[in-house]
């Protein structure tokens, strides 16, 4: 986009001669509120999308594995539903973040890219490790139950915790710690129960943070 | 300019909006000229004139990358600019306290 500028209409430059302190205070308040509203990423929207996708996606997998004896693992249709829902949540998050950060450059963009890269590398590592555990002869209940449900949640939680330190966000810290706890604790529910625990606790954690986040981040 | 005087470089409606808008970004971030223009609502000519005045005072930094149709200009608040805004806010608060009005946040 061409952003070359000219000075043709700069002649009517205003100055502060007529600006009284009350007027200046009003401008500061209005401009500050507008900038914060327009430039900050609205976490509630992304967390609601994540929570719904999480609840329904993991819920669909739990629905497909419940009652399996012996445990076989998620049905392909349920996995497809989860992938589609995650894609939907990612698209909403990308749209919200893209709108807020349009035209913004510098350090926070680099930090955001590193967080996304860390998450992507973590998820790839989880998949590679899953193949290795399967190759080593672990049961389907361990590989396609406990591990497959809990490991990605652990990675997401750790990335949120690390990102919270960089962005000083209590919302991200709260959600990250919660997801780590859900992954570690949910694994004790066994290969079927872990999907239900992750769906409910993970999904509701996102939705709770969507509700509490604005109040928490006001104190950051 | 004395310590209890509003900084004349900032004390103009358009420049006050520019500085407050740029201060909403975290340290180390910048804003493209076009996005800043959208947020402030000035014509390109007026915006660049105000930015140059802030630049001359060392309050903002303008960086141009690329050229021609792909050229972009990014603007950021300098450390001096942030300090000047803090000072401005303090003086304004004192003035409003004396007048019994609500100070800016």
- Per residue in B14-68, pLDDT tens? 999 999 999 999 888 999 999 999 999 999 999 999 999 999 999 999 998 877 7
For the beta sheet containing B29-32, the strands, ordered from the edge strand earlier in sequence to the opposite edge, are A104-106, B29-32, B72-77, B60-65
Average pLDDT in the A150-175 region?
A: 92
pLDDT at residue B43, rounded to an integer: 93
Structural domain range at position B76: 13-91
Residue B103 lies in a domain: no
- Give a yes or no: residue B98 inside a domain: no
Q: Is residue B48 included in any domain, yes or no?
A: yes
Does the pLDDT value for residue B101 go beyond 80? no
In sequence order, the β-bridge partners of residue B20 are: none
Please answer whether residues A148 and A195 qualify as being in contact, where contact means their C-beta atoms are separated by less than 8 angstroms: no
Cα–Cα dist A187/A191, whole Å: 8
Judged against a pLDDT cut of 50, whether residue A2 lies above it is answered with no
Q: Testing the interface with B: which of A17, A31, A163 to mutate, by most B Cβ within 10 A? A: A31
Domain assignment present for residue B2? The answer is: no
Which of B 65-94 lie inside 8 A of A, CB atoms? 68-74, 76, 89, 92
Question: pLDDT over 70 for what percent of chain A?
Answer: 90
Domain assignment present for B3? no
Q: Using CB atoms, pick whichever of A3, A19, A40 lies closest to residue B11.
A: A19
Residue B58 domain flag: yes
What's the distance, CA A3 to chain centroid?
A: 33
> What tens digit of pLDDT does each residue of A30-85 get?
999 999 889 988 778 899 999 999 999 999 999 999 999 899 999 999 999 999 99
- Any A CB within 8 A of B20 CB: yes
Q: Which residues contact A28 (CB under 8 A, 6 or more apart)?
A: B16, B20, B89, B92, B104, B105
Q: Give pLDDT tens digits for B55-77.
A: 999 999 999 887 777 788 999 99
How far from each other are the two terminal CA atoms of chain A, in whole angstroms?
36
Q: How far apart are CA A184 and CA A201, in angstroms?
A: 12
Specify the pairing of strand B60-65 against strand B29-32: unpaired
How many independent structural domains does chain B possess? 1
Residue B54 located in a structural domain: yes
Domain presence at residue B96: no
Asked if pLDDT for residue A3 goes beyond 50, the answer is no
Asked if residue A5 has pLDDT above 70, the reply is no
- Smallest Cβ–Cβ distance between B12 and the set A19, A107, A109 belongs to A19
CATH number of the domain encompassing residue B85: 1.10.10.10
Query: Mean pLDDT, to the nearest integer, of A135-142?
Result: 96
Strand partners, A41: none
Confidence tier at A207 by pLDDT (50, 70, 90): very high
3-state secondary structure B39-100: HHCCCHHHHHHHHHHHHHCCCEEEEEECCHHHCEEEEEECHHHHHHHHHHHHHHHHHHHHHC
């Amino acid at each position: 986009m061409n952003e070359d500028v000219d000075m043709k209409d700069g002649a009517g430059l205003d100055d502060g001669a007529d600006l009284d302190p009350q007027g200046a205070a009003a401008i500061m308040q209005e401009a500050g509120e507008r900038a914060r509203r327009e430039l900050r990423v609205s976490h509630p929207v992304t967390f609601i999308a994540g929570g719904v996708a999480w609840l329904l996606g993991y819920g669909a997998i739990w629905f497909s594995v419940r009652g399996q004896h012996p445990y076989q693992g998620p049905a392909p249709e349920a996995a497809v539903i989860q992938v589609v829902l995650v894609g939907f949540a990612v698209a909403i998050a990308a749209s919200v973040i893209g709108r807020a950060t349009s035209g913004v450059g510098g350090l926070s963009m680099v930090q955001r890219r590193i967080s996304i890269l860390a998450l992507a590398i973590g998820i790839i590592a989880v998949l590679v490790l899953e193949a290795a555990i399967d190759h080593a002869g672990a049961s389907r209940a361990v590989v396609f139950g406990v591990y497959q449900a809990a490991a990605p949640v652990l990675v997401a939680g750790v990335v949120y915790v690390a990102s919270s330190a960089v962005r000083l966000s209590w919302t991200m810290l709260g959600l990250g710690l919660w997801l780590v706890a859900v992954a570690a604790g949910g694994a004790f529910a066994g290969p079927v129960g872990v999907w239900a625990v992750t769906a409910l606790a993970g999904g509701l954690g996102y939705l709770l943070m969507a509700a509490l986040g604005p109040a928490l981040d006001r104190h950051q | 300019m004395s310590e209890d005087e509003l900084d004349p470089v900032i004390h103009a409606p358009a420049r006050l909006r520019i500085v407050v808008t740029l201060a909403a970004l975290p340290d180390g971030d910048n804003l493209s000229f076009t996005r800043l223009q959208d947020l402030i609502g000035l014509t390109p000519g007026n915006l660049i004139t105000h930015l140059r005045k802030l630049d001359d005072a060392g309050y903002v930094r303008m960086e141009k990358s690329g050229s021609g149709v792909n050229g972009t200009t990014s603007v950021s608040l300098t450390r001096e600019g942030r300090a000047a805004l803090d000072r401005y806010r303090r003086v304004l608060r004192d003035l409003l306290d004396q007048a019994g009005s609500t100070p800016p946040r």
